[in-house]
Chains A and B, each alone.
Chain A
Amino acid sequence: MHKFNLTRRDFLKTTGASLFLAGMPISGYTKDKPPGTISVILLEGGMDGLTAVPPFGDPDLVRMRKIITPENYLKLNSFFGLHPSFKALAGLFANNQASVVHATSIPYLKRSHFEGQNWMEGGGLSPFSEKSGWLGRSLELANIPGRALSLDMPLILRGHNENDNFFPSSIRNSSKLKTKLIDAISMAHAKESADVYSKVSNKSKSGITNIPRDPSSLAKYAGKVMSQDDGPLASVIRIKQFDTHARQGADIGKHADRLSIIDDVIGGYREGLGDAWDRSIILTMTEFGRTVAVNGTTGTEHGYGTAGILAGGVISKSRVISQWPGLAKSDQFERRDLMSTIDYWSVCAACIEKALGLDHDLIASRVFLKPKLPRVFDYIFS
């Protein structure tokens, strides 16, 4: 069996995270400006919460997944540890600026990437039920005009008609965008895509130049523009390939590489945001966790419960928020997965409440369409 170590540079080249920025106030917009910013790191493929934040206090952990559990974890408390890939995050933990929610998930039980990913962005009552996304609806609810930056239009930000997106392009020998030309084409597209073209037109005026495409630089760039007075209030970074069915690794390896990208992104945000860090919250989310047991190819299969990572200056005390369900077979969901005991929509709702200053009940009914969604705000931000 081959072990294949990519150099750091090759690795970043093939990694390609994408960035989306949204909720950019109109110039001079100050009326009822929300108190903070919110950034979501979407982890596609299913992050293994038991590897990212190993519950070493549970005796079943090592018994069931020794070969994929890191040995050199950082102790967060007497029960939970942090994977050694998280270097920037470890520093934030030490400064009471990061937390973990564990044994949590969006309430998706069927283990399909595509349904799960659609639901984690849509945030409605079931996969594919919504044509807009939960962050887009939140921005709309907060009355924030805005735009998004990336190559494809992510569902999570849809529903917000001012959204645009951006991903640095470098098409050799193409002319500089000409506003008049773009306006003419935009008018011709009046029926369905004039909005989109008008964003290109805005960009032709704004003079945005090349930005490196690696995840850390994208996060740094996002943080920097979010820190500006008229900057966007929301951003989304998408990281792919957490789906480690084979040769997952432990301290190092495939899953560890993914975790270090999360760490790079969080570090990038920290650097880019500067003073705006103090009003920022960043949260990860993934479509599902992975099986407790290791499969036959030293990887893990699609599961249920996982962990969510939170970071930002609005956190005042670092902690691991969890109602630990246990890892024994009888404690597992369908005798194979970590049980989820905290609905991750509640965690998202708490972050929206903090960043956009919206009322929980309003968020619950209008964004997540679940009027009875439990409020977990105090567990995270008190």
Chain B
Amino acid sequence: MDEKFRVSQKLGLMFKTDDDIPKNIKSWAISQLHEKSPVLGIKSVSRVGSTTTPSKVMPWPESLQPDLEERARRWRIQRAFMELSRKEKKSNSEIQRNNQENLFGRTDELKFSHRNVYGNDQVRIRFMSFWTNHFTMGNIHDNQNVIGHAMDEAILANLNNHFSEMLYKVTTHPAMLIYLDNIWSAGENSKKAKDCRNKVDCQAGLNDNLGRELLELHTVSPSANYTEDDIRNSAKVLAGWGTMLEETLKDMRKQGKTTDHWNFFKKYYAEPGNKTVMGKTISSGKGGLRQLTDFLANHEHTIKHISTKLCRHFISDSPKNSDINQIANTWRQSKGDLDKIHSKVIELAILSKEAKFQWPMTWIFQVIRLSGATYIHGWDQIYNWYDDAIMGNNEIFEELGQSFWVSRQPNGYSSKKEEWLSGEMFERRVRFASAIFRGGDTKHSTEKIMDRIGASNSTRNLVNSVGSSKENRFIALMCSPELMGLESA
């Protein structure tokens, strides 16, 4: 494959049919880290016969990207409706209407797809997805209303910042605090726990879920050999953080002297006194968490853990120690400056000629961009799309077996091919390639795509061996080892 396409396969989402190909691929990839592309997408798709026409590519409307307060407000309406529906029966259409008006998961998931398909910031998007996977937040308790917000404002907004900042912003975001059960956690010596002690049916105490995963998954990993006490103390630092979205502004002001869902610390639930986590003394109060996340963010085990993960995602399934060490050194020298770290990843990924297997979601976006297919419906069609040829955006993710909006385990999706290579996953890629070709009204022919990307001889041989059927040739190309990221340069 042509070097420029090889790099955009490994680090980006492939050049779209109308993209200019940059002259210097390395400087382009690094400059992508600062690319300020608005969220681009399409309002609608129309289909007549075999012609599929998207509306003009435009920035996403503001009204579909509400702020946190609006998302919380809709969440409260949704919950009140559910509460009511248990007392009095609601019709299906009422339930549906309520979901459509007040839940944001499907809207945000479509925005994510549009970003991947139409965005001019492909490398940036890939790093956003890496970190979104690292900080897994699943949909429980209608958390879907805020996951997309965390992605935009905690992760993407901090992509050019230090890791310590991203870590703190994600850890305190309601999407994470709800997903890992921290919102109800109270210190054992908190006022809340003490008040509860003499009451019937009152429960208050520590929940160590987030405290544990903060160490195990988000930072140092078990290689740091922390103890159960460290986990509990980490949970004690976290006790008091987070609100159910149900808190109204007035209630929040009363409890936490703040009206910000993202910056909400309930002193009433907090564990008094200093805590010690992995030898580090953390002071009491709201500021304690920042001390903890700053300590963890540049811990030697965090650096090794995440440097390895970055290598495995962007460079090779079995990364070389020298690559891991170079990223780790960049991390140490820059104190976790993500710009420098990401630039180093880009540099090493280009130098390495090793193949890198791509996630199902990355692959499907690359197929769509390379062929110029229209396979994702518009933002006006989130709840009224049904088409015999093109599935709804949410159905596509379901069939891919990968989505950031489903409830899943907090360790996220593996980057290794052995976790994904199976007959079933292969069959799905074959079927998706077929469906994209049949319904997507592709702009570039298989031959043109092969010429453009400089397909290898083995890929050309494969495509030629399946005969003259245009569909078969398209499937063979997109499912070739080269396009799946299984062929070394």
Contact = CB atoms under 8 A, between A and B. Distances in A.
Interface in B400-450: 401, 407-411, 417-428, 430-432, 434-435, 438-439
B438 A173 contact: yes
A297 B203 contact: yes
B181 A297 contact: yes
B8 to A, nearest CB: 22
Interface stretch (A25-33, A191-199, A314-322, A355-363): A191-199
Contacts of A151: 401, 422, 424-425
B432 A174 contact: yes
B462 A113 contact: no
B351 interface: no
Contacts of B467: 180
Contacts of B389: 172-173
Given A188-B458, A200-B427, A296 B439 contact: no
A189 B423 CA distance: 12
A111 interface: yes
B401 A295 contact: no
A174 B207 contact: no
Contacts of A111: 212, 228
Given A197-B426, A295-B205, A4 B431 contact: no
A332 interface: no
Contact of A200 (B184, B217, B426, B472): B426
Contacts, number: 192
Interface in A270-303: 294-299, 301-302
Given A153-B421, A169-B424, A197-B423, A297 B185 contact: yes
A174 B188 contact: no
Interface in A143-197: 147, 149-153, 164-167, 169-175, 177-178, 180-182, 184-185, 187-189, 191-193, 196-197
Interface in A121-147: 147
Interface string A218-247: 000000000000000000000011010110
A334 interface: yes
Contacts of A113: 409-411
B399 interface: yes
Given A111-B228, A153-B422, A175-B434, A296 B222 contact: no
A110 interface: yes
A203 B424 CA distance: 10
A66 B209 CA distance: 22
A90 B417 CA distance: 42
Contacts of B461: 188
**Secondary structure call for the B interface:** helix
Chain A CB within 10 Å — which of B206, B424, B431 has the most? B424
**Secondary structure call for the A interface:** loop
Contacts of A192: 417, 421, 486
A115 interface: yes
Interface in A43-91: 44-45, 67
A5 interface: yes
Given A152-B420, A334-B228, A169 B427 contact: yes
B424 A150 contact: yes
B401 A152 contact: yes
B425 A152 contact: yes
A192 B452 CA distance: 27
A112 interface: yes
A296 B435 contact: no
Given A185-B475, A240-B408, 15 more contacts: A114-B217, A152-B401, A152-B422, A164-B423, A169-B427, A172-B389, A172-B395, A173-B388, A174-B438, A181-B472, A181-B476, A185-B479, A196-B421, A200-B423, A203-B423
Interface of B: 79, 82-83, 86, 141, 180-181, 184-186, 188, 193, 203-209, 212, 216-217, 222, 228, 244, 246, 388-391, 395, 399, 401, 407-411, 417-428, 430-432, 434-435, 438-439, 458-459, 461-462, 465-467, 471-472, 475-476, 479-481, 486
Interface of A: 1-2, 4-5, 14, 44-45, 67, 110-115, 147, 149-153, 164-167, 169-175, 177-178, 180-182, 184-185, 187-189, 191-193, 196-197, 199-200, 203, 240-241, 243, 245-246, 294-299, 301-302, 334
18 contacts: A1-B184, A1-B244, A2-B141, A114-B411, A152-B420, A173-B388, A173-B438, A180-B466, A188-B476, A189-B486, A192-B421, A196-B423, A196-B426, A203-B427, A243-B209, A294-B203, A295-B205, A296-B184
